[in-house]
Amino acid sequence: MKQIRIEIIIRASAERVWGIIIDFDNYHVWNTFTPRITLRSDDIMIGAEFDLDCRMTDQQLLKNEHEVILALEPENFHFCMGTSRTRGRPGIRSFRWQICEPIDAGITRFINYEEFKGPLALVVNLLYAKKLRAAFEKYCLTLKAYAEMN
């Protein structure tokens, strides 16, 4: 299935950007895309399940999305979450990757993408791809602004 993907250059180290995206305890401070997440930063591990709210547009907030940590590679600055395998919606699996690629000292390419698999993937893509792309773009710009402060 086609990826919904946004890349952005951030003038901050990969370590700094990584630290921000896995600091779930402080998402409420800067992350308007995910204003609520129930997983604490200290509890991040592969298989950890949690709920979150996802702001698709200024008017549309998806509440209590059931998610799971699918991959966590701090040494490579890679992180993936997706639809909960035990409490998620039947017929759809999501994989949302967040990757920090060091380009140079203090410069990072941040890649944020999601892909959907399963019998409902095409329907979800048709219904949400445009909104999700815009939400990801806003998320990346907000992350950039926050990471580049100080």
pLDDT tens, N- to C-terminus, the chain (150 residues): 689 999 999 999 999 999 999 999 999 999 999 999 999 999 999 999 999 999 988 899 889 999 999 999 999 999 999 998 778 778 889 999 999 999 999 999 999 999 999 999 999 899 989 999 999 999 999 999 999 996
Token pair belonging to 29: 């401070």
Give the whole-angstrom CA distance, residue 21 versus residue 140: 11
- The pTM assigned to this predicted structure is 0.92
Half-sphere exposure of 66 (CA within 13 A, CB side): 9
Q: What does the pLDDT read at residue 150?
A: 66
Instruction: List helix spans (H) across the chain.
Output: 14-21, 27-30, 121-148
| Superfamily name and number for 4-148 | START domain (3.30.530.20)
Give the whole-angstrom CA distance, residue 148 versus residue 115: 28
Cα distances (Å, whole numbers) of residue 129 to 46, 66, 132:
26, 19, 5
Task: Spell out the domain ranges in the chain.
Answer: 4-148
